[in-house]
Homo-oligomer: A and B are copies of this chain.
Amino acid sequence: MLLAKVIGTVVSSQKEKSMEGKRFMLLEPVDLDGKPSGSHVVAIDAVGSGPGEIVLYASGSSARLTALTNKTPCDAVIMAIVDQWEVGGDVKYNKSEAG
């Protein structure tokens, strides 16, 4: 899984039938300091995340292993909202303290 920030949404009216009712979220991968890192990805949200939140997303066939994305042409899914991470014992990110 990778850490990313929810930065926006993508709207599509014409899509594969199984994709109807799913929310396409724009994700920006982040580094261990929470700074932008790498190219954006579009993922389906399986956990009710919102703009500005840091999430974990899974790619590939594992992105279909949620009730929402099962049997759909989805290759990236948000499967966790991140509260905190620490490196070497130091808290590097805490959601309640994030700007």
Would you call the interface of chain A mostly helix, strand, loop, or mixed?
mixed
State the oligomeric state as a number of copies.
Answer: 5
Which A residues, 27 to 80, have Cβ-Cβ distances below 8 Å to chain B?
31-32, 37-43, 46-48, 51, 56, 58-66, 69, 71-77, 79-80
Complex-state Cα separation, A83 to B1, whole angstroms: 25
Once bound together, how far apart are the Cα atoms of A43 and B43, in whole Å?
Answer: 18
A98 CB within 8 Å of chain B: no
A62 to chain B, nearest CB (A): 4
From B56, B60, B66, contact of A61 by CB (8 A): B60
Number of A residues whose C-beta is below 8 Å from B?
A: 60
Cβ of A71 and Cβ of B79 under 8 Å apart?
Answer: no
Question: Which residue of the partner chain, among B15, B47, B92, contacts A16 with CB atoms under 8 Å?
Answer: B47
Give me 4 other A-B pairs in contact (C-beta within 8 A), A8-B92, A60-B75 excluded. A14-B47, A15-B81, A51-B89, A65-B74
